[in-house]
């Protein structure tokens, strides 16, 4: 379908982009990779007056090493994240999750930052970013920046800490060098949004789990972090039996959706199975 | 078997795995689809569609839309009322069939969501869409009937003026027609001293989901009105436009250019086509309408959608004595061009390859306030094959015997052909033993059974299941006399012409209308062999009523077995016409002329002349025998004597993760018998595509409406169409039992895969978890449904209850899984 007509601006710096957002207020929509925005516009579910395209801002793209963090520009595509050695070395959980996103065409268009700000709870990058304890750098009017932890970033369905007139510019991920990781995604067809997925990364010491991080996809209105399960896993041997017990309560208190792919009870059941599998795989068991 | 193109070799073209000559232009995007056609001064249309399943239209305000930039006209159904034509039903299955009038653009009332209520014509497609958003329609909502079993009650009516939701009841009974015994007697006997199995299956609603959305361009400015449209049926459309608008047929030219898939979804003559024609004629300007994918999923016709109630009687030794079939079939809001005939096409196929003594079939077709339903790949036969193949597995489970062994006990043996079935069809040829033996060998049947046993004993969380489908089908629609007896509104013949050009090149005109099948390649191979000319010298022309003026188009796996038979006969007539000319030029008697490999030779000499030389001599006309016209062109129209009955054995192995309910394909083997194969590469493609479409019904696809009648699966986010990433490599092979009804020995292959594969997959899933107390799972067999079936089965079943006959009196269908919630709240997708 054809979107309603809109004005289009393509700034080349973050400051210009922020200025455009300041000028147009809530009449403006930010275009990152467009993999969610364009269908919304084409189906006329939204009709912004101005679309601000971030695709021509070089500063928002790429991955760099910053000591104990890696820094990923918000406009880095999934494909670029997937191909990046810094990410696969220091945040392999993110690589593994990104590898499952949709299909190659979408991965060459869609961006990490765009997906995070869109904040679809069935999207695949929220849970790993949450599990890895990332910090998100947000630039506001006038160019000042603030840093939001991943725990505070996701507020509700399609809602994040990025406010009106602000832009997510960077994703700073603490290095998890040497951690095992696995993203266990459950879908009916390969290109589908996650029905449920579990992101797990684990630091093992001689067959025992020393630290664990677990994020859940599509188990509520935001990506969720399973802190109690993370704590329960510490000190456990990487065996099926031990992990089965440690993750048994992973779905407690979650409120996943019901739809054609499964009702919420089924999703809660899936979460326990998938978490066990994700942690076992991450622990190399 | 993986087929790659043979290196160019001498010898016959038939049987050569040639790459399709169509593919270069299709794959490189050089072809022009309907939407690529742009005419000077052309207007673009956008449709305003009803969001309600059932409502009275009380007012339509168009002023704001008319004032929108670029808008030329905004037309409602009332504006078009005269001359917009009627979307026709060509097959009233009974003389008293209830058939609601289906106007292309609704006037007073809409009967399903997506129905067109107004049309905007504007200078650009964007301006048309913008203005369509401004058309303000007032509706008074009416109660909608959405559920098939509710519709039977006639409490809420899809069309209140008709007084009932039942469109027709159609019956075939072996005792009544003298083709078998009485099914009630057989069931009664079996209740005394035998086995009676009662099952109810759901055939979910599917969406054809062809790749190219439907598009129509109408140019009303010439002496003939020209319509380009993405259709399977240009000739039928031409006839129906003439018949329902009053336009002389001779003033209508319909062109189906390259068409990107149909699967039955484009055998409809659509409201959109009629509406585009009506607006173009009203405005006197060329108009184009191209649907969006959302419009396509909502308002193109859907397929399947039946409840199937089955009663099978058997002796204790496993010999099936009777099958009783009672169907409820959802037509949706209107009766499509074939409409109610789709379930009737299954009437002869529930008995499939088996020798049942008694058979009864009744279908009740029902109107509901949902998208209309018509043919979708297989049309009636997949539904029948699913039911009987599920029942044969249920019987095997009841007997505790191997499902292939129980089938073999009941099927027609190869030495029994030709065989007249209990439904009254005569199958000409086949060899179910040979196809099954080959399939078992390729599949490694015994080894997989052994692995299945090991996994069961080990309580492996991932269980292995093996599914069987030994199918046949009837295709090649159709003998005109049979269609006449069934009250169908047209014949089933096909037409062809061959034009011999002066330069020796050959033009073949076919009345079939390919939309992805590769007719240009296959027809060229056939003609190259028949006339002895190079493959490259044959051009196949189709789809334009000015060029290929006569035809019945493409559906029902008819093109090769009916259309190509006409081509063969036209080619033979070319030879017959060329022979006296060749004799004259060779100064020999006609009786001494032999035609082989493209050359007319004089017996016992080395004198001869090629077909190309005869064509040139005919064109010059300088030296022809007295009284012979200077033409060797020929036409032929072929009307088949019978249907075509391809068959095959499909074996499927799946792994079911009992912890999640997820099914993963492990192995799929199909050995099909489609008679003589013209092009193995094309046949392979048809089998692959068909099998995957059938697997998709089993595992992935299903059109779902909510309680308001809104299509929930209205985009590819929710209508989960598989891609190649979701399927596995198929193992295919063939046995060849040539048809005795066709000159070439071919049988149809377009639908066979989709007909065969669905029950193979569901049987495999049920087989994987039957020991856990599961005896059925509703399609699509989503992980959630499988998992819930296991939970209920494991909790509820005891050894003795497994396979026990379900009784319809209990009210509920014999589904082990509760119906999952169809709610979508909170779905972020």
pLDDT attached to residue B826:
34
Containing structural domain, residue A76: 61-174
* For residues B720-747, average pLDDT: 96
Q: A224 and A167, same structural domain?
A: no
CB pairs under 8 A between A and B: 95
Q: A147, A174, A201 — which closes off a domain?
A: A174
Q: Which residues of chain B are at the A interface, by a Cβ-Cβ cutoff of 8 Å?
A: 125-126, 129-130, 133, 292, 294, 659-660, 662, 699-700, 702, 704, 712-713, 717-718, 720-723, 725-726, 782-784, 787-788, 820-829
B660–A4 CB contact, under 8 Å: no
CB contact under 8 A, A188 and B825: no
B327 to chain A nearest CA, in Å?
26
Distance CA A186, CA A198 (A): 9
Are B673 and B734 contacting, i.e. CB atoms less than 8 angstroms apart? yes
Q: Is residue A2 part of a domain?
A: no
Looking at chain A, which residue has its C-alpha nearest residue B296? A1
Instruction: For residue A271, give how far its alpha carbon lies from the nearest alpha carbon of chain B (Å).
Output: 10
Residue of B513, B638, B491, B622 whose CA lies nearest to B572: B638
DSSP track, B738-779: --SSSSS-B---TTHHHHHHHHHHHHHHHHHHGGGT----PS
CA B208 to the chain's CA centroid: 9
| Farthest CA pair distance, chain B | 90
Residues 6+ apart with CB under 8 A from B437: none
Fold of B480-638: Aldehyde Oxidoreductase; domain 4 (3.30.365)
Q: Per the domain annotation, does A1 fall within a domain?
A: no
What are the residues facing B169 on neighbouring strands? B364
β-sheet bridge partners, residue B642: none
- Residue B828 confidence class, pLDDT cut points 50, 70, 90: very low
Domain of residue A269, CATH code = 3.30.390.50
- Residues A44, A83: one domain? no
For residue A257, which residues of chain B lie inside 8 Å, CB to CB?
Answer: 825-828
Using a CB-CB cut-off of 8 Å, the residues of chain B touching A263 are: 784, 820-821, 823
| Separation between Cα atoms, residue B483 and residue B641, nearest integer Å | 12
E strands present in B478-531: 494-500, 506-510
Residues of B with CB below 8 A from A190's CB?
723, 725-726
Closest CA to B357 of B171, B172, B174: B174
CB B490 within 8 A of CB B238: no
- Residue B301 token pair: 């016709």
Max CA separation in chain A (angstroms) = 60
Whether A124 is in a domain gets the answer yes
Last residue of a domain, one of A110, A139, A174: A174
Q: How far apart are CA B253 and CA B272, in angstroms?
A: 17
Q: Are residues A203 and A149 in the same domain?
A: no
Q: For residue A257, give how far its alpha carbon lies from the nearest alpha carbon of chain B (Å).
A: 5
Decide: B506 and B527 in contact? Cβ < 8 Å: yes
> Are β-strands B647-657 and B662-673 bridged in parallel, bridged antiparallel, or unpaired?
antiparallel
| Each residue's pLDDT tens digit, B779-799 | 999 999 999 999 998 765 444
pLDDT at B824 over 60: no
Query: φ and ψ at B404, to 5 degrees?
Result: -70, -35
- For residues B700 and A188, the answer to whether their CB atoms sit within 8 Å is yes
Range B78-98 average pLDDT: 93
| Structure confidence at residue A155 (pLDDT) | 98
Residues of chain A contacting residue B713, judged by C-beta atoms under 8 Å apart: 260
Q: Where are the domains of chain B?
A: 41-210+262-402, 428-474+644-798, 480-638
Q: What is the mean pLDDT of residues B352-372?
A: 98
Residue A134 shares a structural domain with residue A74: yes
> Does B290 have pLDDT greater than 90?
yes
- pLDDT (tens, 9 = 90+) of chain A, 285 residues, equals 899 999 999 999 999 999 999 999 999 999 999 999 999 999 999 999 999 999 999 999 999 999 999 999 999 999 999 999 999 999 999 999 999 999 999 999 999 999 999 999 999 999 999 999 999 999 999 889 999 999 999 999 999 999 999 999 999 999 999 999 999 999 999 999 999 999 999 999 989 999 999 999 999 999 999 999 999 999 999 999 999 999 999 999 999 999 999 999 999 999 999 999 999 999 997
When pLDDT is averaged across residues B101-114 and rounded to a whole number, the result is 97
Cα nearest neighbour of A223 on chain B: B828
Q: Is residue A160 part of a domain?
A: yes
Tell me if the bond preceding B307 is cis, omega within 30° of 0.
no
pTM above 0.90, yes or no: yes
Q: Which residues pair with B324 in a beta bridge?
A: B311, B360
In a domain, A165, yes or no: yes
Q: CA A67, CA B4: separation in Å to the nearest integer? A: 54
Q: Read off the pLDDT of residues B422-479 as tens digits, 9 standing for 90 and up.
A: 999 999 999 999 999 999 999 999 999 999 999 999 999 999 999 999 999 999 999 9
According to DSSP, the residues that pair with B385 across neighbouring strands are none
Q: Which of B660, B700, B725 sits opposite A273 (nearest CB)?
A: B660
- Whether the pLDDT of residue B815 is over 90: the answer is no
Question: pLDDT digit string (tens) for B18-57?
Answer: 999 999 999 998 999 999 999 999 999 999 999 999 999 9
- Which residue is listed with tokens 């891609």? B723
| Interchain proximity A258–B829, CB inside 8 Å | no
B726 neighbourhood in chain A, CB within 8 Å:
189-190
CA distance A184 to chain B (A): 13
DSSP B277-294: HHHHHHHTS-EEEE--HH
pLDDT at B794: 72
How close, in Å, is residue A38 to chain B by CA atoms? 14
What is the mean predicted confidence (pLDDT) over B269-289? 98
Contact B700 A188 (CB under 8 A): yes
A167-174 and A159-160 beta bridge pairing? unpaired
Per DSSP, the residues of B232-272 read S-HHHHHHHHHHHH---GGGEEEE--S----TTTTSSPPHH
What is the C-alpha to C-alpha distance for residues B752 and B672, in angstroms, rounded to an integer? 8
- Cβ–Cβ of A186/B660 closer than 8 Å? yes
> B784 and A266: CB-CB below 8 Å?
yes
Alpha-carbon gap, residue A250 to A230, rounded angstroms: 9
**Cα angle A243, A246, A247; round to 5:** 85
Neighbouring C-alpha atoms within 13 Å toward the C-beta of A59: 11
Interface of A with B (CB under 8 A): 1-2, 4-5, 43-44, 103, 120-122, 157-158, 186, 188-193, 195, 218, 221, 256-264, 266, 269-270, 273-274
A17 falls within a domain: yes
Handedness of CA B730, B734, B739, B744 (dihedral sign): positive
- A161 with A233, same domain? no
Distance CA A13, CA A16 (A): 5
d(CA B610, CA B13): 18
Of B130, B662, B821, the CB nearest to A263: B821
pLDDT of residue A1: 81
The total number of structural domains that make up chain A = 3
Record: contact A5-B788, CB cut-off 8 A? no
Instruction: Supply B733's token pair.
Output: 């092979």
Two structure tokens written together for B662: 């997820």
The answer to whether residue B811 scores a pLDDT higher than 90 is no
Q: Is the pLDDT of residue B825 over 50?
A: no
Pick the CATH number of B41-210+262-402 from 3.40.1190.20, 3.30.365.10, 1.10.150.120, 3.40.47.10: 3.30.365.10
CA angle at B372 for the pair B234 and B691, rounded to the nearest 5°: 75
pLDDT score of B805 more than 60: no
Class for the domain spanning B428-474+644-798: alpha beta
Which of A135, A154, A174 lies at the terminal end of a domain, its last residue?
Answer: A174
Q: Is residue A224 part of a domain?
A: yes
Shortest Cα distance from B433 to chain A (angstroms)? 36
The verdict on A169 and A188 lying in the same domain is: no
What percent of chain B stands above pLDDT 90? 94
Would you call A266 and B787 a contact, using CB atoms and an 8 Å cutoff?
A: yes
Pairing of strands B55-61, B109-110: antiparallel
Q: What is the DSSP-derived secondary structure letter of residue B556?
A: T
**B827·A44 Cβ contact <8 A:** no
As to burial, measured by CB atoms within 10 angstroms (0-12 exposed, 13-18 middle, 19+ buried), residue B405 is exposed
Average pLDDT, chain B: 94
Give Cβ neighbours of residue B630 (< 8 Å, ≥ 6 apart): B618, B619, B621, B624
pLDDT at B821 over 50: no
Residue B782 to residue A261, Cβ atoms within 8 A: yes
Position B814 pLDDT exceeds 70: no
Q: Edge-to-edge, what's the strand order for the sheet holding B195-206?
A: B166-173, B358-367, B320-332, B303-314, B195-206
Beta strands in B555-620 (DSSP E): 593-596, 599-602, 608-610
Do residues A68 and A16 share a domain?
no
DSSP B593: E
Report yes or no: A49 and A27 within 8 Å, Cβ to Cβ.
yes
B803: helix, strand or coil: coil
Place of tokens 């207007």: B43
* Six token digits for residue B544: 């334009």
Inspect the interface and report whether the beta carbons of A260 and B294 lie closer than 8 Å: no
Distance, in Å, from the CA atom of B486 to the CA atom of B498, rounded to the nearest integer, reads 32
Q: Which of A43, A120, A158 sits opposite B294 (nearest CB)?
A: A43
Q: How far is B695 from chain A (nearest CA, A)?
A: 12
Residues B617 and B597: their CA atoms lie apart, in Å, by 19
- Judge if ipTM > 0.90: yes
Mutate to test the interface with A, among B783, B791, B824 (most CBs of A within 10 A): B783
User: Would you say B578 and B600 are in contact if contact means Cβ atoms under 8 Å apart?
Assistant: yes
């Amino acid at each position: 379908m054809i979107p309603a007509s809109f004005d289009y601006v393509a700034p080349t710096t973050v400051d210009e982009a922020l200025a455009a957002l300041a000028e147009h207020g809530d009449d403006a929509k930010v275009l990152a990779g467009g993999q969610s925005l364009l269908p919304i516009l084409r189906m006329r579910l939204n009709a912004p007056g101005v679309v601000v395209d971030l695709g021509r801002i070089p500063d928002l793209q790429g991955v760099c090493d910053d000591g104990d963090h890696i820094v990923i520009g918000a406009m880095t595509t999934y494909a670029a994240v997937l191909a990046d050695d810094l990410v696969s070395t220091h945040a392999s959980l993110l690589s593994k999750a990104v590898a499952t996103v949709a299909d190659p065409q979408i991965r060459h268009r869609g961006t990490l930052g765009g997906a995070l700000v869109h904040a679809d709870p069935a999207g695949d990058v929220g849970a790993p970013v949450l599990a890895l304890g990332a910090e998100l750098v947000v630039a506001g009017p006038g160019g000042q920046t603030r840093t939001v932890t991943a725990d505070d970033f996701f507020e509700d369905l399609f809602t994040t800490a990025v406010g009106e007139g602000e832009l997510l510019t960077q994703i700073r991920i603490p290095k998890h060098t040497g951690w095992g990781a696995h993203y266990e995604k459950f879908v009916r067809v390969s290109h589908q949004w996650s029905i449920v997925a579990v992101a797990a990364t684990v630091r093992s010491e001689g067959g025992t789990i020393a630290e664990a991080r677990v994020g859940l996809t599509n188990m509520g209105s935001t990506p969720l972090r399973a802190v109690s399960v993370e704590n329960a896993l510490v000190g456990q041997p990487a065996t099926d039996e031990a992990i089965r017990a440690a993750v048994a309560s992973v779905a407690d208190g979650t409120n996943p959706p019901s739809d054609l792919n499964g009702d919420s009870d089924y999703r809660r059941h899936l979460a326990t199975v998938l978490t066990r599998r994700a942690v076992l795989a991450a622990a190399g068991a | 078997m993986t087929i790659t193109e043979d290196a160019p070799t001498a010898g016959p073209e038939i049987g050569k795995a040639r790459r399709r000559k169509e593919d270069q232009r299709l794959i490189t995007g050089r072809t022009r689809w309907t939407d690529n056609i742009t005419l000077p001064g052309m207007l673009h249309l956008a449709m305003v569609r009803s969001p309600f399943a059932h409502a009275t239209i009380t007012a339509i305000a168009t002023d704001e839309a008319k004032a929108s930039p670029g808008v030329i006209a905004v037309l409602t159904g009332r504006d078009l009322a005269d001359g917009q034509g009627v979307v026709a039903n060509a097959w009233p299955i009974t003389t008293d069939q209830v058939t609601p009038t289906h106007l292309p653009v609704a006037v007073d009332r809409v009967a399903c969501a997506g129905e067109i209520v107004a049309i905007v014509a504007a200078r650009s497609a964007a301006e048309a869409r913008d203005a369509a958003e401004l058309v303000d329609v007032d509706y008074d909502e009416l109660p909608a009937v959405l559920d098939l079993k509710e519709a039977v009650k006639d409490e809420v009516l899809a069309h209140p003026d008709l007084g009932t939701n039942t469109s027709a009841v159609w019956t075939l009974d072996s005792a009544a027609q003298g083709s078998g015994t009485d099914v009630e007697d057989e069931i009664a006997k079996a209740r005394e001293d035998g086995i009676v199995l009662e099952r109810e299956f759901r055939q979910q609603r599917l969406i054809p989901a062809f790749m190219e959305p439907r598009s129509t361009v109408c140019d009303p400015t010439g002496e003939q009105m020209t319509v380009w449209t993405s259709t399977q049926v240009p000739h039928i459309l031409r006839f129906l436009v003439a018949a329902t608008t009053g336009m002389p047929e001779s003033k209508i030219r319909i062109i189906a250019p390259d068409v990107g898939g149909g699967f039955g979804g484009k055998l409809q003559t659509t409201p959109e086509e009629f509406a585009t024609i009506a607006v173009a004629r009203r405005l006197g300007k060329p108009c184009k309408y191209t649907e969006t994918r959302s419009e396509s999923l909502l308002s193109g016709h859907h397929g399947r959608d039946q409840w199937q109630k089955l009663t099978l009687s058997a002796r204790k030794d496993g010999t099936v004595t009777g099958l009783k079939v009672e169907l409820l079939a959802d037509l949706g809001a209107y009766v499509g061009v074939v409409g109610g005939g789709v379930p009737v096409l299954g009437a002869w196929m529930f008995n499939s390859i088996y020798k049942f003594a008694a058979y009864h079939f009744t279908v009740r077709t029902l109107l509901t306030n949902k998208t209309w339903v018509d043919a979708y790949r297989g049309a009636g036969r997949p539904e029948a094959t699913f039911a009987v193949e599920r029942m044969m597995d249920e019987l095997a489970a009841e007997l505790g015997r191997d499902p292939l062994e129980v089938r073999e006990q009941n099927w027609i043996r190869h030495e029994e052909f030709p065989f007249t079935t209990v439904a009254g069809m005569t199958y000409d040829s086949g060899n179910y033993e040979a196809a099954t033996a080959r399939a078992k060998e390729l599949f490694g049947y015994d080894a997989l059974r052994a692995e299945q046993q090991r996994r069961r004993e080990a309580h492996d969380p991932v269980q292995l299941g093996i599914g069987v489908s030994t199918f046949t089908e009837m295709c090649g629609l159709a003998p005109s006399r049979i269609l006449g007896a069934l009250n169908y509104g047209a014949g089933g013949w096909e037409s062809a012409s061959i034009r011999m050009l002066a330069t020796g090149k050959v033009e073949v005109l076919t009345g079939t209308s390919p939309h992805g099948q590769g007719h240009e390649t296959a027809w060229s191979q056939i003609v190259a062999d028949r006339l002895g000319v190079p493959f490259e010298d044959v051009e196949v022309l189709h789809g334009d009523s000015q060029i290929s003026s006569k035809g019945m188009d493409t559906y029902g796996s008819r093109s090769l077995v009916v259309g190509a038979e006409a081509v063969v006969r036209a080619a033979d007539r070319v030879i017959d016409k060329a022979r006296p000319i060749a004799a004259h030029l060779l100064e020999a008697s006609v009786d001494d002329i032999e035609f082989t490999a493209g050359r007319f030779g004089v017996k016992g000499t080395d004198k001869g002349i090629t077909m190309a030389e005869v064509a040139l001599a005919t064109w010059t006309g300088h030296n022809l025998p007295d009284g012979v016209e200077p033409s060797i062109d020929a036409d032929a129209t072929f009307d088949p004597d019978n249907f075509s009955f391809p068959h095959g054995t499909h074996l499927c192995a799946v792994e079911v993760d009992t912890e999640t309910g997820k099914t993963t394909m492990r192995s799929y083997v199909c050995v099909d018998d489609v008679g003589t194969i013209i092009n193995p590469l094309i046949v392979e493609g048809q089998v692959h595509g068909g099998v995957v479409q059938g697997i998709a019904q089993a595992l992935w696809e299903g059109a779902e409406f909510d309680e308001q009648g809104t299509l929930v699966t209205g985009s590819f986010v929710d209508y989960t169409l598989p891609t190649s990433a979701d399927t596995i490599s198929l193992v295919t092979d063939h046995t060849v039992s040539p048809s005795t009804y066709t000159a070439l020995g071919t049988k149809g292959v377009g639908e066979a895969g989709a007909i065969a594969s669905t029950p193979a997959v569901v049987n495999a899933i049920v087989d994987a978890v039957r020991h856990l107390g599961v005896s059925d799972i509703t399609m699509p067999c989503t992980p959630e449904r499988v998992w819930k079936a296991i939970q209920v089965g494991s909790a509820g079943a005891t050894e003795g209850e497994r396979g026990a006959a379900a009784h319809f009196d209990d009210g509920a269908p014999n589904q082990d899984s509760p119906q999952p919630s169809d709610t979508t709240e909170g779905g972020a997708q």
